[in-house]
Amino acid sequence: MSARIDYSENFLKLEYLKVFTLDGLINGKDILVNVGGGDPEKMEYSAVVQIKDIDLKQLLPPKRRSKIDDGKIKADLNVSGRNLADPIPNVNLFFSVFQIGQDFAKSAVNIFTPSNVFTDFIYNSYAVDKIEVELSKGLVYAVIGFKRSVLNTIINLENSQISQQRMPLANFLKRARSEVDTYR
């Protein structure tokens, strides 16, 4: 891990952060924290993070790892917020996954669209191209884009994507937890 950290006039600033982990790299830049004189209501923060080739399957128990073909992920994360005394409605987050292995992509689809015959058919027929998740005022918005294929002529997904709008964060976390438990 390497970083440059400066503290001046109540601001903590990380101009760059590099963390080598899980056979990949996490780059942080423009990470700012307004310490707000120590008052959580006055604190603010923002960060830009890039995730490159992090291998998520290394987080799984050894027996489950062998069942995953590709656990690598590439993504960008932008987060900002204020008022740490009441953080959920005061955080804005944008997370864009532009490379993800098929197994973990299916898990993402399951989090946003509960599994049924139609969603299973779509997932098994289309490859996930990107996943974009936004958190604003305690609500999660998600778009899962699929790569174009011959199947588009038979079953046409609008803009080759599915979306979930205004999911309360608690519901999202409950679904995500349930999906993570399938890997244990």
Half-sphere exposure of 96 (CA within 13 A, CB side): 7
Answer with the residue of higher pLDDT: 91 or 124: 91
pLDDT digits (tens, 9 = 90+) for 24-82: 999 998 899 999 888 999 999 999 999 999 998 888 888 888 778 888 999 999 999 99
> Which residues neighbour 54 within 8 Å (Cβ) at sequence distance 6 or greater?
21, 22, 23, 24, 25, 26, 72, 73
Residue that wins the pLDDT comparison between 172 and 182: 172
- What is the mean predicted confidence (pLDDT) over 111-136? 78
Q: Residue 148 in 3-state DSSP?
A: coil
pLDDT at 153: 58
What DSSP element (H or E) covers 110? helix 102-112
Give the type of residue at 29. Answer: K
User: Can you tell me which residue has the tokens 């503290």?
Assistant: 7
- Report the DSSP pairing between strands 44-55 and 72-82: antiparallel
Q: How many CA atoms lie within 13 A of 103 on its CB side?
A: 16
Does 117 score more than 90 pLDDT?
no
What percent of the chain is modeled with pLDDT above 90?
40
**pLDDT range class, residue 157, cuts 50, 70, 90:** low
